[in-house]
Structures are given as C-alpha cells and as structure tokens.
Amino acid sequence: MTAEQIIFYLTAALILVSALMVVTTRNLIHAALWLVSTLFGVAVLYATLDASFLAVVQVVVYIGAIAIMFIFAVMLTRRDLLDKVPQTNTSWPWAAAASALMAGGLLFAGSQLNAFGAARPALSGDALQGLSLALVSADGFVLPFEVASILLLAAMVGAVYLAYKK
Amino acid sequence: MNFWTDPIAAVAQGLMQTFTGWGMAPEVAGIVTNLLGVVLMITAIMVLDIFLVWVERKVVARFQDRLGPNRVGPWGIFQPFPDIIKLILKEDITPTGADKVPFNLAPILSLGSVIFLWAVVPVASRIYGVDLNVALLYLVASGAIGTLSIIMAGWSSNNKYALVGAYRMVANMVSYEIPLAASLLIPTLLAGSMSLNAIVEMQAKGVWLFLVTPLGALLFLVAAIAELGRSPFDLNEGESEIVAGFHIEYSGMKFGLFYAGELLHAFTFGGFLAALFFGGWHGPWAEEYPLLGAFYFVAKAMLGYWVIMWIKYTVPRIRIDHMLAFNWKFLTPLAFTLLVVTVLAHRLLMSLPLGLYVAGMFLVNLLVAWATLEVLRSSARRQREALGTR
C-alpha cells in the first residue's frame, strides 16, 4: 500500500464517519461541527488529487461561509438545540434498500468504465493556470461561469430587496 | 553544498546521509527529515511567540508611559517564563453545562489556524515550507478556521457573555474578510501569481509593492487588524459590556493558547505585510546568504507588528454598528474601486520604464485617495445639512 492510498483510506473513513454523525447526532450544533469535519475531509481529498485551488476554496466557502452560516442560523432560531422526537419512521427499511440499491448501481456503473482501478494520470503543466484559462476562454467554460455569476447577482439583489425598509 | 548559501538543503542532505547510513530506506528517511523540519519550524515559531509576550508588554508599557516588566532577567526579558509557569499551575476549570469536546478543541484550533500560515511564508530566498500556488487563498482559508474556533469557544462555554462576544467577533471577521481578500488580489494581479514566493521574487527583481500600491498596503493593514480583532476592532472584548468576550470561561493554559494565538497572529500579519508589500526577505546580499534574508524578513515583520501594536494602544474601540458600516459602506467599495483602477493603470503603464511606471502607479493611488476624501467630505456635508434643517 502506498502512502497515497493510506491517506485516501484514512480520509474516506473520516468523511464517512462524520457524515454518519451529521445525520445521527441529536444536537444540532454538533451536527454542524461534524459537517465541518466532513467538508474538511473532502478538502483533503482534493489536495491529494493535486487540485490545490479546489481544496482551499472548499475550506474558504464551505467551512468559512456555509458552515458558519448554519451555526449562526441554528443558534439564532432554535431555543432548544436537542431534538427529542424519534429519528426514524416506519418506512426506514425501504429507504435503506433504495440507498443500498443506488450505491450498488453506482459501484457497478463505475466498474464498467475503462479507467476503473487505473492509476491517476499525471497532470501536465500548471493545473491552476489551466483551470483559470478554461474559465475565461471562449472554447472553455466562459458561458457557464458568467451565467453562475448572474445567478449570484440575482440572489444578492433579492437579499437586498428583502432586507430593504420602505 | 554550502551551509551559508543554502542552509536548509545542506542540513537536509546531511540528515538524509545520516539516516540512510543507519540503514533506513530512503523514502522513510525523507519522511523523517521532512517531519523534523516541520517540528523545527513550529518550535522556532513557538519560542518566538514566548518572547512576543515580552515585546508586547514592554511596548504597551512604553506607550502608556510605564516601565513594563523589569524584574526577571535583563530588561525583564525572561518575564514570560514566570507567566507560563503561573498559567500551567492554575486550576483548569470547565464550566458546568459546557460542551467538553468543542470547549477543549477551540483553543487548539485557534492557535493552529495561525501556525498553519507559516507553512507558506517565505522566510528567506531558500527557507520556506512549501511554495504553494494558492498561498493567498490559503491565508483566507486559515482565517475561516480561526472564525470557526471562536464560534466554537463562544458556544461551548455555556455563557451568554461568551456567546455575544463570539457573535460580535465572528460578524466582524466574516465582514472584513471581503476587503482583506480584495486587497490580497492587488499584489496577486500585479505579480501574476498567488504564490508568496513569486510575489517576493518579483519585488526583489523590481520594486517593493508599497510604492506601486500604497493604498492597497494600507487597506490590507486595516483589514488585517480587523481580522485579528485588535483595537480599534476589539469587539470580542469589552469590560463594560461583555467582560472578556468569547474566552471568558477559559482559565490557565487554555486561555494562554488563545493569548499566544492572538500575539502570533499579529506578528504573522506583520510578516504577510512585509512579504506582500515590503519585499519580504529582500535586502542587500539577501539573495546569496539566506540567513541574512531571514533576518531582514523578521525585522520587517517586527516593524509591521510594531505598527499594529501602535494602532492598538492608541485608538479606542469603535461601536459595532459603526464598525460594520465602516466595512460595508467604505472599505469594501474602496477596495473594489482600487482593484479595478490599479489593474487598468497597470495595463496602461506596464510598457513604460520602471521609474515612470512606479511614479504613474503612485500618482494613480494618490488620485484614488483624493477622490475618496472628496466623496467622504461631500457626504459628511450632506449629513450635516440634513441635521441642520430638521
């Protein structure tokens, strides 16, 4: 087993355990903190794939903005942070079966690909520069990139409108 | 390989030879050598941090016309050691109803978020942790971990003052991240890279960036002080309102970790100010002798740290609504305007000789500063007139 594989298995275990804790813990703040741990694990995965930009953006956006927002919203809206209702209802076996089927299907579909189990091809050139050029060049992803920025602008205008006192 | 021209590589090579001489596999020896390097770097920073306590106390004493520590050792330089012994011997109190794991994790994350930063700081031309190509974004990301540690501390203490302090601090840090990121974009665009090594190298070959973008350096300083939560932005504390803020329930060494983290954070931002705008390790003979470059870097970082202390002990705290208005209505628009203007001017002037280019960029910055002051003056006049007619 190479060092990279050991890191992958450790990170994957961290992600899965924390993701499980997010949905099973009864304390909402703990759920948010476990979510932070999950997202950090994903950032580690990006870093091992040489996607340094995505790894750092994952931490900035998901931990720095979204997780903090979750924690704020929970603290400001809930008086009691502990849920006492049962965590499952009667149809949980169906849900479990459906998710198992889904996971098995994804694994099967993946194993049919040629690249399954193959070594990762080495990146050529500066990955960061490649990403930034792809986002601004016309034969790259300039249109989806700009459309995403219009979406964000619309969200911001909506937020300002909602908060505006007449 | 000569120790004086490339100390880290020379030491690493020597260690590798020793380890492989003991019969270690080269890969294992490489990992052990790198691990030793990391431990050495963190230890050096933490030892420096111990003496920063003395520096801080001595400087604040001088600003307040006192002597400061002067009993333990010459000029009281060993004062931090009795302080540390006191902190370790104190009773470690966990309040009733505290959430134990986040409560104990928060001080560690708080100090850790600062130590992370030293991985990317180029101390000298050949002395650095990694040459990360997203170093400046990494700075913002480590700030996010710091924010998380504060909200964890405030919430898990089970104390309303701690929670209110954490809210105020986090609101402050999250908002000031925007001008901070915008002011970091200016050196990024001028150097064409987010790597700190590349930015310093470009300044060593050309001209220090504070001459090209003085307003950008000032914006970075203001946003960095806000990110630190130091006066005039120290909303986390307030003896008359919320006592010690988010770390009110921490005693002994746990408080010590927060305190050490804050001091080291201030020094680290001094270092970033030096690396981004004041040439980093650049100075006479710094290229050939990295240890001399490290000396220049620490001296410049100390100067930045001194400026941050100077502001902290001179300016009083500002109310939170003024603080947020200052950020959203003044700093953020100014940062984005400056970014656009700087990039346009850089594009227009970049073909000129270096002297003319620097003079032109400096003039553009002066123009932006003048326009800002004019806008402020006219808006203040309008507000005064509105008050007068009521």
To test the contact with chain B by mutation, choose from A44, A56, A62 the residue with the greatest count of B C-beta atoms within 10 A, namely A56
* Cα–Cα distance measured from residue B118 to residue B130, given in angstroms and rounded to the nearest whole number: 9
Q: Give me Rg for the CA atoms of chain A.
A: 21
Q: What's the pTM?
A: 0.87
The per-residue pLDDT for B1 is 55
Query: Cα(B104)–Cα(B92) distance, rounded to whole angstroms?
Result: 11
C-alpha B59/C-alpha B311 separation (Å) is 12
Chain B residues in contact with A1 (beta carbon < 8 A) = none
Q: Running DSSP on this structure, what letter comes out for residue B316?
A: P
Q: Is A128 on the interface with B (CB under 8 A)?
A: yes
Question: How much is the pLDDT for B235?
Answer: 73
Residues 60-119 of A with CB under 8 A from B: 60, 63-65, 67-68, 71-72, 75
Q: Which residues of B touch A3 (CB under 8 A)?
A: 31
The per-residue b/e assignment along A75-109, b for 16 or more CB within 10 angstroms, e otherwise, is: beeeeeeeeeeeeeeeeeeeeeeeeeeeeeeeeee
B136/chain A closest Cα distance in angstroms: 10
Reading the block at residue B342, the tokens are 């700087």
> Residue B315 to residues A22, B50, B290, B321: CA-CA distances in angstroms?
44, 26, 37, 17
Q: What is the mean pLDDT of residues B285-313?
A: 86
pLDDT: is B129 or B2 the higher one? Answer: B129
Give me the total of CB pairs closer than 8 Å, taking one residue from chain A and one from chain B: 60
Looking at residues B29-33, what average pLDDT do you find? 82
Q: Kindly determine whether residue B141 and residue A64, on different chains, have CB atoms separated by under 8 Å.
A: yes
Token duo for residue B139 = 């700075």
Distance CA A118, CA B247 (A): 50
Do B238 and B164 form a contact (C-beta atoms < 8 A)? no
Interface residues from chain B to A (CB-CB < 8 Å): 31, 99, 102, 132-134, 137-138, 140-141, 143-145, 147-148, 151-152, 155, 163, 167, 170, 174, 177, 194
Report the C-alpha gap between B130 and B120 in whole angstroms.
5
Region of A145 (left: φ > 0; alpha: ψ -120 to 50; beta: rest) is alpha
Chain B residue with the nearest C-alpha to that of A126: B133
On whether any CB of chain B is under 8 Å from the CB of A4, the answer is: no
Sequence spans of domains, chain B: 90-344
Question: Which stretch of A27-31, B23-27, B121-125, B367-371 has the lowest confidence by average pLDDT?
Answer: B23-27
Of A57, A60, A71, the CB nearest to B151: A71
CATH pick for A1-81 out of 1.20.120.1200, 3.40.50.300, 1.10.260.40, 3.40.50.1010: 1.20.120.1200
- At B389 the pLDDT is 66
Quick check: A75 and B132 CB within 8 A?
no
Contact B118, B38 (CB under 8 A): no
Peptide bond before B232: cis, by omega within 30 degrees of 0? Answer: yes
H helical segments located in chain B? 7-21, 26-63, 80-89, 100-117, 135-156, 160-191, 196-205, 209-212, 214-228, 252-277, 290-312, 320-325, 332-349, 354-389
Q: Is B103 helix (H, G, I), strand (E, B) or coil?
A: helix
Binary contact (B148, A63; C-beta < 8 A): yes
Contact across the interface for A59 and B155, Cβ inside 8 Å:
no
Alpha carbons B265 and A132: distance in angstroms, whole number? 31
**Contacts of residue A36 in chain B, CB cutoff 8 Å?**
148
Task: Compute CA distances A137 → A6, A19, A140, A143, B389, whole Å.
Answer: 38, 37, 5, 9, 55
Q: What's the rounded Cα separation, in Å, for the pair A136 and A127?
A: 15
Instruction: Please tell me the least confidently modeled range out of A78-87, B40-49, B60-69.
Output: A78-87
> Of B276-280, B321-325, B365-369, which one has max mean pLDDT?
B365-369
A47 touches A4 (CB < 8 A): no
User: Mean of the pLDDT values across residues B192-196?
Assistant: 85
Three-state SS sequence of B247-310: HCCCCHHHHHHHHHHHHHHHHHHHHHHHHHHCCCCCCCCCCCCHHHHHHHHHHHHHHHHHHHHH
Q: Which stretches in chain A have pLDDT values below 50? A: none
Distance to chain A for B101, nearest Cα, Å: 10
Q: Pick the closest to residue B215 from B350, B103, B355, B367 (CA basis).
A: B367
For residue A17, what pLDDT is reported? 94
Segment B238-245 mean pLDDT: 72
CA distance A130 to chain B (A): 13
Torsion sign, CA atoms A125, A129, A132, A137: negative
- Percent of chain B with pLDDT strictly greater than 70: 98
Measured between CB atoms, which of B99, B137, B144 is closest to A63? B144
Q: Is the pLDDT of residue B241 over 90?
A: no
pLDDT of residue A79: 66
Alpha-carbon distance of B215 to B209, in angstroms, equals 10
Domain definitions of chain A by residue range = 1-81, 127-166
Confidence grade of residue B84 (pLDDT, cut at 50, 70, 90):
confident
> pLDDT tens across A28-53, in order?
888 888 999 999 999 999 888 888 88
Q: Report yes or no: B278 and B208 within 8 Å, Cβ to Cβ.
A: yes
pLDDT of residue A100: 95
**Cβ atoms of B235 and B246 closer than 8 Å:** no
What is the rounded average pLDDT for all residues in chain B? 86
Q: What percentage of chain B has pLDDT greater than the value 90? A: 15
Q: Which residue of B has its CA nearest to A40?
A: B145
